[in-house]
Amino acid sequence: MNIIKLHRDIISKKIDINDLYNMKNDFISIYNKIISGNASDFYEIEAFIKLCLDYYAYSENGDVLITDSEYDKLMTFYNNLGYDNIIYTDSIVDYTIWPIVKHKAPGVVGSISKIYTTEELHKYINSMDNVDEFILAPKFDGISACIEIRDGKRIYAVTRADGHSGQDILQVVLRSKMALCHPIKDGFYKCELVVSQSDFELLIEEKKYANRRSATAGIVNSPKNLEYAKYITIIPLAYYNGSNHIDYIAPWQVTITYSRKASKIMDNISKILNIIRKSDFPFRTDGVVIYPKSKHLLVNHNDIMNYAIAFKVNTAEALTTIKYGYMSIGRLGHAVPMVKVHPVEVNETIVEDVSLSSYDKFAQMDLRENETVIVYSAGDVIPQLRVPENREFSLKDNYLKIKKECTYCGEKLSRIGNEYKCTNDSCVRIRTGKIINFLVKIGVKNVSDATIEDLYNGKIIDEIDDLFDLKASDIVELDNYGAVSATNIIEELKTVFSKDILISTLFGALGIPNISEKKCRNILKYITIDEILTSKRSKIIDKLLDAENVGMITAETFANFVIQNRSLIRSLLDNLNIVVDKKYKGNIVFTGFRNKELSDTFDAMGYEMSDNINGKTVAVVTSDYNENSTKCKVAIKKGVTIISLSDINNLIRELNRK
């Protein structure tokens, strides 16, 4: 993707801003490339930042291309290169935004500085020698604005923008509700415009938004969405009389008489976090703001929040309560116990379904119905659940039960090793799961499980190779599929089917039990396609037993599968553009974590990801260095470099240099 050209096309409206939604994965990859120091030049970074801002300001759904925390890291990286913040967006041709006006009170809309660690908090507190007391309050995550009130009426409302001028959003503010405010006085109010959880649930019945933050941005930034301003809540944070008086009026605030002990402030920050992380807290937050008060601190008319600081916290976990449990059946039949919880926001996403990883883990947890639990994000996987140190449930609540049966076909699940699995070959989930698993593995992104299930239930497709004969006219016969969506599905399939597909990717996409694309890549170094398609079972097994790290079980599983599916494999080879696997310079081993973006980065650089350390391993990357761990011991013995995950950028730069 040429990010500079894309930026030019967006601001000249050759490409619609909303089309960037389908490029989110590409933007995440580019973000990782920039942060790792692999951007081509300053102009690429600048164009990337502007596109992120443009999309946030102009997209009708108010979504973001990278998360807030990623954007903060990106701006820090950009600043460290010696450049000032890019604050405002481009003026995109033909896009309508609210009129731009100058700020009456620029000091009210200043951005609060952010800190992320307790060390930074200590430094901040020690720098506030003359402070009498600190006020702590939630950091609301919405749209900042200055609102002027005269004679009890809202007469002026402008977004922060570049600090000198902003969008005149008075029409939005007049239709919004002012909440949690001290008695109204004439003057200027620093406010945060947000959407509460209850209003969000009503709003998405009218217009779909990903989360409360995107809903707020979509409504406030676009005049097209003025009708939804009734769902906006205005939270005043500070009052400024335009002269020498400031009041901090943020709700849920805690006042602390000055103490040199940062631990006292951390204790109170923890108290606020316990409030704002609960699922029933109405507003989206991403930290705690610390406001210092002292007669010795003079009002800074250029920035009334000059002395305040925001302690941003990890939003990767939150408290909520259990509704019920159920089994989730994966595309290939694997069953995972899940819990439906009351909606809660984790990592900028509303979460309702939480993984318990395995049935054995679920059995050990002794969960209760309606119990309070912690939902947390574990990287790129489905959010997971743990219980607080002090468990909260009623003795009247029954133990949570999850039936060991397939939620699609109703058949009893089979226990295989430590897992449960649906083994009913006629189950619609398994039949369609094989097809969607194949599509996902070869790179199809915009065809859902539900679509494949609809096509299967409509008797339009039955096997993977039926997709090659699929037509838009077949799809429109189904309920809820129009000509446009049908054409989009066909075009998506044609695009991927016409691309080069690695032979190991093809076999990895077939759903061979317990054999990944990585294993297929290794296997295909020792056996040809002709041998796979023509040899007897015993000869295939003998060939595979010569392969590195391939045992009898893997050899038999592979041989059995390819013999049973030779007709399908021949059809795929005839219809797809299959190419030989690329050669790698070496391999990288991760231990203690998984990270798809990093894996993709190393793959693009020519380094294969491996589970085992061998003669081609150039580095072992560990999330938590422990010289007694098995992989670290092997790496030390073989003289392989061990890199901490926190130093990953150094490894990337070194490999690029080589």
Report the chain's C-alpha Rg in angstroms. Answer: 28
Looking at 445, 464, 498, the residue that finishes a domain is: 498
Q: Establish if 94 belongs to a structural domain.
A: no
Rounded distance between C-alpha atoms, residue 648 and residue 38, angstroms: 13
Q: What is the pLDDT of residue 604?
A: 84
Handedness of CA 276, 280, 281, 286 (dihedral sign): positive
Whether 332 and 561 have beta carbons less than 8 Å apart is answered as no
Q: What mean pLDDT value characterizes the chain?
A: 86
Between 561 and 256, where is the model more confident?
Answer: 561
Average the pLDDT over 228-242 and give the result. 93
* CATH number of the domain bearing residue 628: 3.40.50.10190
pLDDT at 368: 93
Asked if residue 117 belongs to a domain, the reply is: yes
Per-residue pLDDT of 561-603, as tens digits, reads 999 999 999 999 999 999 988 888 888 999 877 777 788 888 8
- Reading phi first (left if > 0) and then psi (alpha if -120 to 50, else beta), residue 259 is in beta
Express each pLDDT in 381-416 by its tens digit.
578 888 988 888 988 889 999 999 999 999 999 998
Residues 448 and 384 in one domain: no
175 has a pLDDT exceeding 90? yes
211 pLDDT above the threshold of 80: no
In a shared domain, residues 354 and 488: no
Pairing of strands 233-240, 177-178: parallel
pLDDT, average across residues 30-58: 82
Instruction: Kindly state whether residues 308 and 217 are assigned to the same domain.
Output: yes
How many beta carbons lie within 10 A of that of residue 320, not counting itself? 24
Q: Is residue 178 one of the residues assigned to a domain?
A: yes
336 and 306 share one domain = no
Q: Rounded CA gap, 217 and 63, in Å? A: 8
The CA distance from 375 to 386, in Å, is: 7
Query: Looking at the structure, do residues 329 and 407 belong to the same domain, yes or no?
Result: yes
Confidence of residue 92 (pLDDT cuts 50, 70, 90): low
Whether the CB-CB separation of 110 and 306 falls below 8 Å is answered with yes
* E strand or H helix at 573: helix 566-575
The tokens for 265 are 């402030």
> Is the same domain home to 50 and 164?
no
- In 21-105 the beta strands, taken as DSSP E runs, fall at 100-102
Q: How confident is the model at residue 536 (pLDDT cuts 50, 70, 90)?
A: very high
- State residue 378's pLDDT score: 61
How distant, in Å, are the alpha carbons of 7, 109, 310, 387 from that of 306?
34, 11, 11, 40
Domain boundary residue among 277, 312, 347? 312
Residue-level pLDDT at 465: 92
95 part of a folded domain? no
At 611 the pLDDT is: 81
- The C-alpha atoms of residue 491 and residue 150 are separated, in whole angstroms, by 57
Among 6-15, 32-41, 156-165, 583-592, the range scoring the smallest mean pLDDT is 32-41
Q: How confident is residue 430, by pLDDT bands cut at 50, 70 and 90?
A: very high
Question: Stretch 434-461: mean pLDDT, rounded?
Answer: 92
Q: What mean pLDDT is predicted for residues 176-182?
A: 79
**% of the chain exceeding 90 in pLDDT:** 38
Is residue 559 within 8 A of residue 540, CB to CB? The reply is yes
Under the banding of pLDDT at 50, 70 and 90, the label for residue 76 is confident
Among residues 339, 403, 337, 328, the alpha carbon closest in space to that of 370 is found at 339
Above 80 in pLDDT, residue 356? Answer: yes
For residue 380, is pLDDT > 60?
A: no
pLDDT category at 16 given cuts 50, 70, 90 is: confident
Average pLDDT over residues 184-213: 89
Residue 85 lies in a domain: no
* Separation between Cα atoms, residue 498 and residue 575, nearest integer Å: 9
Helical pair 68-80 and 24-35, crossing angle rounded to 10 deg: 40
Judged against a pLDDT cut of 70, whether residue 95 lies above it is answered with: no
Q: Classify residue 86: in a domain, yes or no.
A: no
Which pLDDT value is given to residue 553? 93
Same domain, residue pair 194 and 260: yes
* Measured distance CA(584)–CA(520) in Å, rounded: 15
- 252 by Cβ neighbours in 10 Å (0-12 / 13-18 / 19+) ranks as middle
Per-residue tokens: 114: 């952010």
Greatest pairwise CA separation for the chain in angstroms? 91
Rounded distance, CA 255 to CA 235, Å?
A: 19
Q: Please tell me whether residues 116 and 258 are part of one structural domain.
A: yes
Confidence of residue 306 (pLDDT cuts 50, 70, 90): confident
What is d(CA 558, CA 340) in angstroms, rounded to the nearest whole number?
A: 37
pLDDT at 367: 94
Please give the average per-residue pLDDT across 112-121, as a whole number: 80
Band the pLDDT of 523: cuts 50, 70, 90: very high
| Predicted confidence band of residue 17 (pLDDT cuts 50, 70, 90) | confident
CA distance 617 to 567: 37
Measured CA to CA, the distance from residue 228 to residue 218 in angstroms comes to 9
Cα 610 to the chain's mean position, in Å?
25
Residue in the structure block whose two tokens are 């116990």:
337
Residue owning tokens 């199809």: 444
The pLDDT of residue 479 is 86
Given a cut of 80, whether residue 56 has pLDDT beyond it is: no
Residues 434 and 401 reside in one and the same domain: no
Token pair recorded at residue 189: 């109010």
Residue 511: what pLDDT? Answer: 92
189 pLDDT band, cuts 50/70/90, is very high
Is residue 379 pLDDT above 60, yes or no?
A: no
- Give me the domain span that covers residue 362: 317-421
CATH number at residue 415: 2.40.50.140
Measure the CA–CA gap between 251 and 208, rounded to whole angstroms: 29
| Residue 224 shares a structural domain with residue 369 | no
For 247, the 3-state DSSP assignment is strand
Backbone angles phi, psi at 159, to 5 degrees: -75, 165
Within a domain: residue 296? Answer: yes
Provide φ and ψ at 321, rounded to 5°.
-125, 155
The pLDDT of residue 261 is 61
pLDDT score, position 24? 80
Tell me, yes or no, whether 545 and 407 share the same domain: no
pLDDT at 301 over 90: no
Q: What is the pLDDT of residue 62?
A: 67
Domain boundary among 472, 498, 524: 498
**Count of alpha carbons within 13 angstroms of residue 25, beta-carbon side:** 10
Structurally, how many domains does the chain consist of? 6
11 located within any domain: yes
DSSP-assigned states of every residue in 69-84: HHHHHHHHHHHHTT--
Strand partners, 328: 336
pLDDT of 649 strictly over 70: yes
The DSSP code for 479 is T
Q: What is the mean pLDDT of residues 616-643?
A: 84
The verdict on 393 and 515 lying in the same domain is: no
pLDDT confidence of residue 554: 92
pLDDT band at residue 429 under the 50/70/90 scheme: very high
Q: Can you give the CATH number for the domain in which 446 is found?
A: 1.10.150.20
